[in-house]
Amino acid sequence: MSIEYLPTEIITQIFLSLHDIASAVALSATGHRFHTIFHSPQNLVILSATAETEFGPLDDIIQLVTQNASQPAHIHRNVPISTALIKQVVHVGRVAQRWEGIYPFKKWRSDYASRRLLITEERYRVRRAIYRLWLFAKAFHNSSHVRTCRSIPSVVSTRAALLQNFSIHDLAEMYDVHQVMREVLRSNTCPSNGRMRVKYQSRYPDQQHGLMFNIHLNYPPAPSSFIPESWFHNSPSANLSSRNHQPSRWLDPGAEGWGDDITHYYVVEDMLKLDPEQIMHLRDHCPTKAHVETYVKEVGGEWFGNNGETFNETLSFVVKQRGGEMEELSGSVDDEELGVTAEH
Ligand SMILES: *[C@@H]1O[C@H](CO)[C@@H](O)[C@H](O)[C@H]1NC(C)=O
Ligand SMILES: *[C@@H]1O[C@H](CO)[C@@H](O)[C@H](O)[C@H]1NC(C)=O
Ligand SMILES: *[C@@H]1O[C@H](CO)[C@@H](O)[C@H](O)[C@H]1NC(C)=O
Ligand SMILES: *[C@@H]1O[C@H](CO)[C@@H](O)[C@H](O)[C@H]1NC(C)=O
Ligand SMILES: *[C@@H]1O[C@H](CO)[C@@H](O)[C@H](O)[C@H]1NC(C)=O
């Protein structure tokens, strides 16, 4: 008997057991019955079940994509599944999946021996934390949150209301993933002067020239004055053809640092107001400091600069309210007693 003649319920079950939307779409293209059933009223049931498996938890995505200024972020929103909603779910879900892939590299950035791929349950937790941090950023890192209002008690308690919904395990997972985003900004997108110096030295060990940093000068140094000629010809990674098409921070590394320790710390605090998709955009499409600055000017505005993110301090507030200590929580996340990889 051809699989095409199976009862509708069984074919629906087959659809529901798929792990991702692409497979459901592919299956629907394999024959008339599959096509008909996929495009029947069952469609949304099938799509939401596969989206839950692939990108879930759907409920957290729904909280994120339906958040708007008409009600506080922490009020739970119920909306019926629609095709438009599924599209948003896929969009947001794909971003979260990228973070699943980055997590192991940043979590165990120096502890190579522990580095491993995440298991299904851990990937689910990374996505969930991403959706929740994203909601926090969407609701509280916007132009109505200027620097001067961050510690006003009513503002603090509005922010805290969102985090109060979560258990300490959930909060620790958010903190864990927040640290991973911080690390991407700190070391990849906005490297400090010191980090650029170290990277330069390990990339070009034979060069005697130290790097100079624009930030300490009142005028931009002429690149040719400190980039040795040999750089372009002898170094193993010199590749003029790709350099011409693809700007890189190695063209003018002295101009690429984002400051010394303290300045750099505040740069990262500012950047952490970006949402997970924006940070991913910086990582993928902004290879130089100038690119990053242009992008941030586009998505941010007057309020953005010198106005650090508020998740960490809000978390600290909520942890204290519950009688805990932030240091304890961050220590437990470091030791993997709490966080994405903890067993619970
Ligand atoms: C804002 O959210 C509320 C509640 O989810 C919804 O009823 C309303 O249509 C939304 N408004 C806009 C402009 O999207
Ligand atoms: C911006 O922040 C305000 C104040 O918390 C909030 O009510 C609003 O929802 C935020 N704006 C958007 C577009 O979410
Ligand atoms: C968060 O908690 C508030 C108050 O307890 C509740 O009304 C709301 O539905 C909760 N939101 C979520 C997303 O669970
Ligand atoms: C240089 O870059 C081009 C284009 O990206 C690439 O095809 C080529 O393999 C590179 N050559 C070397 C030596 O890396
Ligand atoms: C987060 O907040 C705690 C408590 O205020 C603070 O000790 C810690 O340094 C902060 N973490 C970062 C990375 O800023």
Mean pLDDT for the stretch of residues 22-46 = 87
The DSSP-derived string for 71-128 is: S-TTS-------HHHHHHHHHHHHHHHHHHHHHHHHHTSS-GGG--PPPHHHHHHHHH
218, pLDDT greater than 50: no
Average pLDDT, the chain: 85
pLDDT of residue 1: 60
Burial class, 80, CB count within 10 angstroms (exposed 0-12 / middle 13-18 / buried 19+) = exposed
Lowest pLDDT segment from 48-57, 238-247, 322-331: 238-247
3-state secondary structure of 324: coil
Q: How confident is the model at residue 210 (pLDDT cuts 50, 70, 90)?
A: low
Residues 39, 32: Cα–Cα separation, whole Å: 11
Domain map of the chain by residue range? 3-54, 59-191+296-334
Angstrom distance (rounded) from CA 130 to CA 100: 9
Q: In this structure, which amino acid lies at residue 240?
A: L
Residue 83 has pLDDT above 90, yes or no: no
155: CA distance to ligand 2 center in Å?
11
Asked whether the predicted pLDDT for residue 215 surpasses 90, the reply is: no
Ligand nearest to the CA of 72: 2
User: Which pLDDT does position 208 carry in this prediction?
Assistant: 60
Residues with CB under 6 A from ligand 4: 239, 241-242
Higher pLDDT, 93 or 143: 93
Q: Name the residue of 233, 242, 248 whose CB sits within 8 Å of the most ligand 4 atoms, as the mutation to test its pocket.
A: 242
Q: Report whether 202 contacts 237 (CB < 8 A).
A: no
Cβ contact 275:134 at 8 Å: yes
Measure 184 CA to ligand 5 centroid, in angstroms.
17
At residue 224, the pLDDT reads: 40
User: Lowest-pLDDT range, 123-127, 241-245, 283-287?
Assistant: 241-245
CA of 237 to the centre of ligand 4 (A): 9
Query: Is the beta carbon of 69 within 6 A of some atom in ligand 2?
Result: yes
- Determine the distance separating the centroid of ligand 2 and the alpha carbon of 139, expressed in angstroms: 5
Higher-pLDDT residue of 237 and 302 is: 302
Q: Is 67 in the pocket of ligand 3 (CB under 6 A)?
A: no
Which one is predicted more confidently, 316 or 215? 316
